[in-house]
Amino acid sequence: MATKAIRIGIGTDLHRLGPDRPLWLGGVEIEHESGLIGHSDADVLLHAVTDALLGAAALGDIGGMFPDTDPANRGRDSAEMLAAAHEAVQKAGWQICNLDCIVAAERPKLSPYRQRICRRVAEILEIATDQVGLKAKTAEGVGPIGREEAIGAQCVVLLEKAD
């Protein structure tokens, strides 16, 4: 059976918010009184993008590539992990068509950072800024995100066979 040379992938992630942590979203440091807790720098958006890419190429997930049991991954820069995942995807013969992302955060307001985040994600992936979509949503005060206990992110990515 012939298969079309495109693949779709989805990624989702959520990290708890806590005091005395920097807040990294999409490789951009965001000014806020709390930050995300995690083994790495806890950049929830880059983790969702990484999982979407790996999933689209059937290459597993971020936890398989960078186990949190490995001390080398403590405090690791998520941009570096995303770049490594992208390299694996490229080696498997795929290139990115586009990605679309959602960050769910009650606070802070992300609209002032939207362009910077899109530019940074595009830079990490060496693609054009208009290949990166980003929406910021609140949770209307409901649930862990609405209570500002966590920030979540989702990403879908479309890959095509590289020329």
Task: List residues binding Mg ion (CB under 5 A).
Answer: 13, 47
Phi, psi (deg, nearest 5) at residue 11: -140, 145
**Residue least distant from Mg ion (Cβ):** 47
Identify which of residues 64 and 130 has a Cβ nearer to Mg ion in the complex. Answer: 64
Q: Give me the least distance between CB of 3 and Mg ion, in Å please.
A: 31
Q: How far apart are CA 86 and CA 92, in angstroms?
A: 10
Q: Give me the least distance between CB of 89 and Mg ion, in Å please.
A: 18
Q: How far apart are CA 43 and CA 23, in angstroms?
A: 8
Identify which of residues 13 and 106 has a Cβ nearer to Mg ion in the complex. Answer: 13
Identify which of residues 47 and 120 has a Cβ nearer to Mg ion in the complex. Answer: 47
Q: Give me the least distance between CB of 46 and Mg ion, in Å please.
A: 8
* Structure-token match 């770049």, residue found: 83
Q: How far apart are CA 130 and CA 25, in angstroms?
A: 18
Identify which of residues 47 and 86 has a Cβ nearer to Mg ion in the complex. Answer: 47
Hey, what are 33's tokens? Answer: 């009184």
Hey, what are 35's tokens? Answer: 């930050």
Q: Give me the least distance between CB of 162 and Mg ion, in Å please.
A: 28
